């Protein structure tokens, strides 16, 4: 996966999330991870099958959180994002550092979450 494809995926999934577009959000992930998705919340246990994690994330958080992209760095087939997850209707924000590794159709995501 090249830099422009990775950048497109990262911006597309955030845009779909913020617009409440579940179909677009999951389509972006399916395109980026046709061979599998692993997601880890660092410090909360090992990485696991990412598809049920995404489903749970969407069900529990999509209506509550708007994502602001603060910084994005892409090197080769890996990306690091600093996102600000703003609780809608409040001044509360949850900062995350998100690491994405793209490997032959498999995507591994590691979330570092700073609670407010």
Helix (H, G, I), strand (E, B) or coil at 30: helix
CB atoms within 10 A of CB 62: 16
Question: What's the pLDDT at 72?
Answer: 97
Would you say residue 1 has pLDDT above 90? Answer: no
At 41 the pLDDT is 94
Asked whether residue 116 carries a pLDDT value surpassing 80, the answer given is no
DSSP classification of residue 21: -
- Provide, for the chain, the percentages of residues in helix, strand and coil under a 3-state DSSP scheme, each rounded to the nearest 5: 35, 40, 25
Domain ranges across the chain: 3-114
- Alpha-carbon distance of 22 to 103, in angstroms, equals 24
User: pLDDT digit string (tens) for 53-97?
Assistant: 999 999 999 999 999 999 999 999 999 999 999 999 999 999 999
User: Does the domain made of 3-114 have the CATH classification 3.10.450.50?
Assistant: yes
Say which DSSP state 45 is in. S
Give dist(CA 11, CA 89) in Å, integer.
23
Structure tokens at 6: 């990775």
The CA-CA-CA angle for residues 55, 60, 61, to 5°, reads 100
Instruction: Quote the mean pLDDT of the chain.
Output: 95
For 27-57, how does the pLDDT look when each residue is reduced to its tens digit (9 = 90+)?
Answer: 999 999 999 999 999 988 888 899 999 999 9
* pLDDT at 14 (0 to 100): 98
């Amino acid at each position: 996966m090249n830099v422009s494809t990775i950048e497109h995926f990262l911006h597309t999934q955030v845009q779909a999330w913020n617009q409440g577009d579940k179909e677009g959000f999951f389509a972006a992930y399916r395109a980026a991870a046709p061979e599998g998705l692993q997601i880890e919340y660092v410090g909360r246990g090992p990485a696991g099958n990412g598809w049920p994690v995404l489903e749970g994330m969407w069900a529990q958080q999509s209506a509550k959180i708007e994502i602001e992209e603060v910084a994005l760095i892409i090197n080769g087939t890996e990306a690091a994002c600093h996102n600000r997850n703003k609780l809608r209707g409040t001044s509360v924000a949850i900062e995350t550092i998100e690491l994405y590794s793209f490997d032959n159709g498999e995507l591994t995501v590691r979330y570092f979450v700073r609670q407010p």
